[in-house]
Amino acid sequence: MSSQDQPLLNLSKDEALVLFEFLHRINSTDQPELFEDQAEQRALWNVECLLEKQLPELLQANFATLVAEARTRLRDEE
């Protein structure tokens, strides 16, 4: 597979933390009706695995706090 066939996504640390937590929550539930095709579920599993490899914060005792802080920073200002 050439590098042109592998899109590169650049995420901030906050985006990665929030996205990982969301994907983990979705992937941990048995709700096949969320997906039009099983390939969508597989793609989300794969993204979750890629993020897991890049986030040493997952092993920290304060991971939930880190995610909460990241969510706060990412929210739109009201």
Q: How confident is the model at residue 30 (pLDDT cuts 50, 70, 90)?
A: confident
Query: Vertex 24, ends 17 and 78: CA angle to 5°?
Result: 50
pTM as predicted: 0.85
Q: Which amino acid is at 32?
A: P
- How far apart (Å, rounded) are the C-alpha atoms in residues 16 and 54? 9
Q: What digits encode the pLDDT tens for the residues 33-72?
A: 889 999 999 999 999 999 999 999 999 999 999 999 999 9
